Structure 1
Amino acid sequence: MTPSPSVWNTAPTSAPAQRKDRYAPGSSAHPAKMLPAIAAHAIRTHTQPGDLVLDPMCGIGTTLVEALHLGRNALGIEYEPKWATLASLNARTAAQDCGGTETGIVHCGDARHLTELAPPATRGKVDLVITSPPYGPSVHGQVRSTRESGESGVIKKNFRYSHDRANLAHVPTAHLIEAFTEILAQCRTMLRPGGTAVVTTRPWRERGELIDLPSAVLTAGRTAGLIPTERCVALLAGIRNSRLVTRPSFFQMKNVRDARRQGIPLSAVQHEDVLIFTKPVTRTGKPCPRKANSTCPKALSCRTCPLRTRRRDS
């Protein structure tokens, strides 16, 4: 597998163009879909054909669809029944279109109980976790003109996950990070030793204050026992003649203009932060029981290491 470049050119075409003919009607209504090219780039870089890809917060199943089209197996967990049903449909369609032996499975439930929801045979066998936590609504949503109804202006639609207050999209940031740390810890259990976790996210502003979600996710990954290895940029803008071709939403631009009128130097976000982690391994290929959050450099030579004790006694 080749090293990942620090900047991923993942938006040569628009998001609708990337999803064309691969996703069932209704998929576009999800408020925070991962860009298909981001998922595809991560899958190509960090897996081989036949590997298992997991998304514990899979939404409409973007990561599953892209994994299946690249000859990988896919497993998704989704909290909202509506989106879980759609993700399952998208995964089944992708598997049929590919005509291979790969499978795409979706389970509905809370990702904090991932190891209970996932098939037992997949525990410790996942090669790549790729996901994105829910974040602020300022960049979500679509625009519908109201002129046809005799009114002027626009209204926002498809900017809510649901009205379920237990959905992590609705909880305060501190609670979200705590819950996402639990999810990453579950993902660590699902990953094989040396497996990779890719998390895409971005900062946002709330009442003028910057919410640095990428840095919080980095800390969450460490706390969950994963090792940070890379921090990359996945473009949401295209590149043409060495210039960025920006594609901000109507509400992104509105938020930027409103902020600048208030003296806040806000700019439209044109990238996702990509945080890459690995599951630690020892020289035996087993997770170190003494150092859950780092690679043990003294595997089997450390006098107090249970792995060493078991090997000596055997």
Structure 2
Amino acid sequence: MANIVPDSRPISRPTSAWATGEIGQTEQLADRYVAATRTAMVAMTPAIARRCILTYTAPGATVLDPNPTAGIALTEAARTGRHAVGIQPRQPQWQSVCDANLDLAWLAGAPAPARTLTGIADPQVANLPAAVDLVLTGVLLDRDGGHYNRALLDLYDDLRGVIDWVWPGGYVIITCRAWHTSRGLLDLPGEVDDIARAVGLAPHDRCVALTSPIRLRPGSAATHIDVMIYIVCQGRAPCLSLRA
């Protein structure tokens, strides 16, 4: 089984580009994810999720994905000893994929449990181990960028619904990429930044995470996903029901 990102600590602070594409996507999925996960990897890969989690949290932290689609962020959180919390995917077809990936993590001996909530009003919220340390989510569009505005509105609602669950100074990371469609290039990272600022998040870092190997041949280029990192302002207090 390929080791997507080494688990050894510590990982240094992020640079402008992360070498998260040296292991192919097929290898990243092998024995760890069901095949249907591949579609979701245009917004977040297991290597990128693991890099975010190992860089911005410690073992035992709580990682939340408010719209997990295939459950990549939750699966990597569980596999690295974090408490994984998700809200049911907005697209029902992803629920079985997410559940299957979390089951694989559990069968492989993932040391931390994963929980899926029905929504922000789910009574299980009161039983979570602590306030959230990291919100990690990816923005996924369909092949031609359809439902673009709907996806942005959903992201706004997702962030607004869970921002008060995060410790002051905690992180919110959103992964996405510019989207090439028959109508031209959609600047999804720029739109995401506008939404994050609108809900009160403070910009912290913006990196690119490579999804293919770095090549040294002239004219070659590695594809990437944007990793947009924000901090929850210190003036906020987490929801009391989430305290340990």
Q: Per the shorter chain, which TM-score range?
A: 0.7 to 0.9
SS of residue paired to 1:137: coil
Query: Structure 2 vs 1, CA of residues 243 and 28 (structure 1 numbering), >3 Å: closer, same or farther?
Result: same
CA distance in 2, matches of 1:12, 1:32: 16
Match of 2:131 in 1: 125
1:242 shift after superposition = 7.6
The answer for the alignment partner of 1:291 in structure 2 is none
CA change 1:241–1:98 in 2 (3 A) is farther
Q: CA deviation at 1:219?
A: 0.8
Work out which of the residue numbers 124, 135, 141 in structure 1 matches 2:141: 135
* Kept in 1: contact 2:53–2:77 (CA 8 A): yes
Count of matched residue pairs: 226
Aligned equivalent of 1:115 = 120
CA–CA separation in structure 2 for the residues paired with 1:73 and 1:43: 11
Is residue 2:230 matched to residue 1:277? yes
Q: In the alignment, does 2:189 pair up with 1:236?
A: no
Is the alpha carbon distance of 1:28 and 1:208 closer, same or farther for their aligned partners in structure 2, counting shifts above 3 Å?
A: closer
Q: Which amino acid aligns with 2:201?
A: L
Say if 2:72 is the partner of 1:62.
yes
For 1:8-62, what per-residue CA distance to the aligned partner results, in whole angstroms no more than 9, with x for missing partners? 1111111111111011354446585621100000000000001111111211211
Distance 1:98 1:91 in 2: 11
Trace 1:139-288 onto structure 2 (pairs within 5 A).
Answer: 170-171=146-147, 173-240=148-215, 270-282=223-235, 286=237
Unpaired stretches in structure 1, ≥5 consecutive residues: 109-113, 139-168, 248-269, 288-314
| 1:230–1:276 Cα contact (<8 Å) kept | yes
Distance 1:93 1:14, change over 3 A: same
| Helix, strand or coil at the partner of 1:239 | coil
Which has the greater radius of gyration?
Answer: 1
Identical residues among aligned pairs (%)? 30
Partner of 1:86: 97
Which residue in the other structure is 1:9 paired with?
19
How far apart, CA to CA, are the structure 2 residues paired with 1:243 and 1:123? Answer: 50
User: Using the alignment, how far apart are the partners of 1:12 and 1:49 within structure 2?
Assistant: 25
Q: Over residues 37-88 of structure 1, what are the superposed CA-to-partner deviations in whole Å (9 max), with x where a residue is unaligned?
A: 0000000000000111111121121111111111111012212333212212
Whether the 8 Å CA contact 1:182–1:224 is kept in 2: the answer is: no
- Report 1 or 2 for greater relative contact order, CA contacts < 8 Å, sequence distance ≥ 6: 2
Measured against aligned partners, the alpha-carbon deviations of 1:250-284 in whole angstroms (never above 9, x if no partner) come to xxxxxxxxxxxxxxxxxxxx1111110111013xx
Asked whether the 8 Å contact 2:78–2:110 carries over to 1, the reply is no
Retained in 2: the 8 A contact 1:68–1:98? no
**2: distance between equivalents of 1:123 and 1:175?**
32
Cα pair distance change 1:244/1:83, threshold 3 Å: farther
SS of corresponding position for 2:78:
helix
CA distance, structure 2, for counterparts of residue 134 and residue 96 of structure 1: 27
Separation (CA, whole Å) in 1 of partners of 2:110 and 2:129: 26
Instruction: Encode CA deviations 1:223-260: one digit per residue, 9 max, x unaligned.
Output: 1111111111011121255879768xxxxxxxxxxxxx
One-letter amino acid of the structure 2 residue matched with residue 178 of structure 1? L
Q: Could you say which residue in structure 1 is the equivalent of 2:57?
A: 47
Counterpart-to-counterpart distance in 2, 1:237 and 1:31:
12
Q: 1:226 to 1:24 in 2, by over 3 A?
A: same
Structure 1 consecutive aligned stretches of length 4 or more whose deviation exceeds 6 Å: 242-247
How far has the Cα of 1:214 moved from its partner? 0.5
Contact 2:61 2:83 in 1 (8 A): yes
Give the TM-score of the pair, scaled to structure 2.
Answer: 0.81
Compute the RMSD of aligned alpha carbons.
2.7
* CA apart distance, 1:204: 1.9
Determine if contact 2:68/2:137 at 8 Å carries over to the other structure: yes
Please report how far the alpha carbon of residue 98 of structure 1 lies from its aligned counterpart in structure 2 after TM superposition. 2.3
Give the TM-score normalised by the residue count of structure 1: 0.64
Query: 2: CA distance between counterparts of 1:193 and 1:124?
Result: 13
